[in-house]
Structure 1
Amino acid sequence: MKIPYVMLLLLLAALNTIGPFSVDTYLPAFPAIEAGLHATPLELQQSLTAYLLPFSFMMLWHGAISDAVGRKRVIIVGQAVFVLASLLCATAPNIELFWLGRILQGLSAGAGVIVGRAVIRDLFDGIAAQRLMSHVTMVFAVSPAIAPILGGWLATALSWRAIFYMLCVIALLLIAMTWKWLPETLPAAKRQSLHPTHLLAGYKSILGSLPFIMLCLSMALFFSGFFIYVMSAPVFLIDHLGLTETQFGYLFVPIVTGMILGSAVSARLAGRLHAAGTITLAYGIAAAAMLINLALNYALADSVATRIPQITLYTFGMSVALPTLTLRALDMFPHRRGMAASCQGFIQTLIMSAVAGVVSPLLWDSTRHLAWGMVVGLMASLAAYLVSLRTYRVID
């Protein structure tokens, strides 16, 4: 069975929504969750780390397991575990059980994200793969804008627990969509062994590759330049900009608009501009946004108008680069794309865990500090990318 392009696009984008919905929907409800679970702000902030660390760890395994047993089965099992984890969060009587639910969400949420990337490379090559990756990113990018707005409405109208019941429903729908729509894209003849020796050799080859590691770091650090604002959203928007729990869209709608437009440009550039040119253009746009952000933070007082637009420009530049950088990394290991996607996701989410649990709280006290966080993230990303250029090659 051949799935129509539009249906495949919508399904892969939908599978990616679990990640941002698991993080962004409950950010506006932080004050309500703190009160409901009798938790401190720092304890609740650590629920982000409780999610992101196991999310990062399982990134190493989702793709490798799908290389052995097939893509479809891994996606369905992952969503089923996510349903149970979300129910635990929704019914948790204290912060400790809430952490446990978040850990289980982290262990399962990445299955669709990672395996979805491998599905793209199973079905498409070259320009077609870049276009689909860009289109998936473009459609998926709507979810970070919707998630916090929906979470704020649910927390205000019903309860913060309704947010996690909603996540259960989303995961159940994804199970049904995957079962009905998605064919198995990895033939049995192309599957890899799960024998420890074979796995160890694969991980050693991928994680021992300096250009692969540098490409993954370039993506993760690029992303971290604006992710610090997402992870600091309750403080950034409520304390610094004076907004309310239902006004998180002032940040998320603009940055998602930037992501959608950047992904659309990336898709248009496929076949028109070579990969290096696309990436160079993206870094130039992001650097301009970074400098504007730094200047405005020192020149003008905190407000939506002086703090948000340049973050939008940054996400635009980032989204021009990410599809090309992602495919460039996966194409280094054409016979282990699932494992390569796992390793790529592991590195990215490990960086995101550090940003959520360590870096963002250190920058909360000032919007200027957040602006410098963007500077460090982008400059480190560019350095990693330049290192990857020197030794890039296809391994097998």
Structure 2
Amino acid sequence: MQDGSAPRGMLPLITALVAMGVASMALYVPSLPAIQADFGVEPADTQLTLTLFFLGFSTAQLLFGPLSDRFGRRPIILIGLVLYSAISLACAFAPGIEALQIGRFLQGFAACVGPVVGRAVVRDKFDGPKAITAFAVVGTALAIVPAVAPMLGGFLQAHIGWRANFVFLTLASLILLATTYLKLTESVPEKNLDALKPRRLVRIYGGLLSSPFFMGQALASSLAFAGFFAYFTEAPFLFIGEMGLSPDMFGLLMIFTVAGYASGSFLAGRLIPRLGTRPVILLSFVFLIAGSGLLYLLSDSLTIARVIGPMSVYTIGFGMVIPGSMAEALRPFPRVAGSASAILGFFQFFCAALTSLLVQPLYDGTARTLALVIIGVALFTVVQFLVLTRNGPPEARESAA
């Protein structure tokens, strides 16, 4: 652990790497109805491109985490960025919906390298309150990206077309690749030569999965994440398809939900040093349940305010739960931070994929079924956290390495 020794500029770079995955999801969301019309397919076919991205993003983390423990953070990030750039360019020229679906799965597979390895770098370089502050900085940036990306994506859709989104992602990833090559230093003091041995991976992942505290913290962030991305999957069809908003106007509306997320993340960074992590996480659950419940109560009529208002409340809780739960999940496992970060990221995006798949066939042009899904997720988040984390964290498991 090199607490406080992180070189100047490392945290902004890591934040950009972590944000890359969110940008890959959010930028093209205003284009989903246009992609549907362009290829002449059903809404579920275009929504599947988002679900497949989640699946690729989640499963690849189980590979990139151990790879970064074995070979170091820097080379794995560089390789991932090269792959991401090539796949993003291929998505820009997809000839049909099937090719785009495959491309999005592969893009998600490559995009996960920034978040999973970036979180491990934060764990390498920061500890204690500084780690929570670093995760709060990353969380605030993650709130800004989903606001800016749909606005930019809506502008590109309105003036150029949906393929421009993937050209932009290609160019942005090439810039990030060059910056990473020049600026990112290796953060692993000693590479773990046994990190990829099958028996060791089974032991590590088994140890993490069997830790109630780790699972409680991991699922707290993952389920809150999943609830938001259930909304993310349905939102363009509600606002653009049902209410008739333009893609760029839809992008502007993301400011409200993302402002809620940023506010929650900011509050977490201020309250955790004073109150402790667990009370702040419990407080975040109040906002999750209140927002999802309000969405259901107002779902009898579909208007912008009746959807955006409740989801803004929900995202305050989402922003509050992320920094503390992520830091607490990784804290007891310093020697296997890459693998622990991989499991954490896997659950976040796998849960998002499940809720995305769940809401697709239930879509009925209203927010009612969406609200029921989010309420269920929020309630399960609270119950599992109270049960799994009631005995507190385990001792740091150095033996897991």
TM range (shorter): over 0.9
Counterpart for residue 232 of structure 2: 230
Contact 2:359/2:370 (8 A) holds in 1: no
CA distance in 1, matches of 2:97, 2:294: 40
Unaligned runs of 5+ in 1: none
1:64-85 per-residue CA deviation (whole Å, 9 max, x = no partner) reads 1101110111111111101111
Counterpart for residue 334 of structure 2: 334
Q: Which moved more, 1:53-62 or 1:93-102?
A: 93-102
Backbone CA RMSD of aligned residues? 2.0
Equivalences for 1:288-303 in 2 at 5 Å?
A: 288-298=290-300, 301-303=301-303
Q: 140, 152, 162: which one pairs with 1:160?
A: 162
Equivalences for 1:77-96 in 2 at 5 Å?
A: 77-96=79-98
- Structure 2 CA distance for partners of 1:355 and 1:189, relative to 1, 3 Å: closer
1:27-56 per-residue CA deviation (whole Å, 9 max, x = no partner) reads 211233234334332222211222221211
Counterpart for residue 148 of structure 1: 150
Q: 175, 178, 182: which one pairs with 1:176?
A: 178
Superposition deviation, residue 161 in structure 1? 1.1
Superposition deviation, residue 12 in structure 1? 1.8
CA distance in 1, matches of 2:191, 2:229: 40
Contact 1:70/1:185 (8 A) holds in 2: yes
Contact 2:84/2:110 (8 A) holds in 1: yes
Q: 233, 238, 247: which one pairs with 1:245?
A: 247
1:187-225 per-residue CA deviation (whole Å, 9 max, x = no partner) reads 125665322222222122112323322322222212222
- Verify: 1:13 aligned to 2:18, yes or no: no
Superposition deviation, residue 293 in structure 1? 2.6
Q: 64, 67, 86: which one pairs with 2:66?
A: 64
Unaligned runs of 5+ in 2: none
Contact 2:117/2:338 (8 A) holds in 1: yes
1:5-29 per-residue CA deviation (whole Å, 9 max, x = no partner) reads 5x22321221122222222211211
CA distance in 1, matches of 2:293, 2:38: 41
Contact 2:91/2:104 (8 A) holds in 1: yes
Structure 2 length normalisation: TM-score? Answer: 0.92
CA distance in 1, matches of 2:297, 2:372: 11
Contact 1:50/1:99 (8 A) holds in 2: yes
Number of residue pairs the alignment of both structures matches:
393
Letter of the 1:78 counterpart: G
Letter of the 1:81 counterpart: L
- Structure 2 CA distance for partners of 1:14 and 1:195, relative to 1, 3 Å: same
CA distance in 2, matches of 1:191, 1:258: 43
CA distance in 2, matches of 1:179, 1:368: 47
- Structure 2 CA distance for partners of 1:231 and 1:63, relative to 1, 3 Å: same
CA distance in 2, matches of 1:223, 1:78: 23
Counterpart for residue 39 of structure 1: 41
Counterpart for residue 262 of structure 2: 260
Equivalences for 1:1-396 in 2 at 5 Å?
A: 4-5=7-8, 7-188=9-190, 192-298=194-300, 301-391=301-391, 392-394=393-395, 396=397
Contact 2:152/2:251 (8 A) holds in 1: no
Letter of the 2:29 counterpart: L
Superposition deviation, residue 327 in structure 1? 1.1
Contact 1:22/1:167 (8 A) holds in 2: yes
Structure 1 length normalisation: TM-score? Answer: 0.93
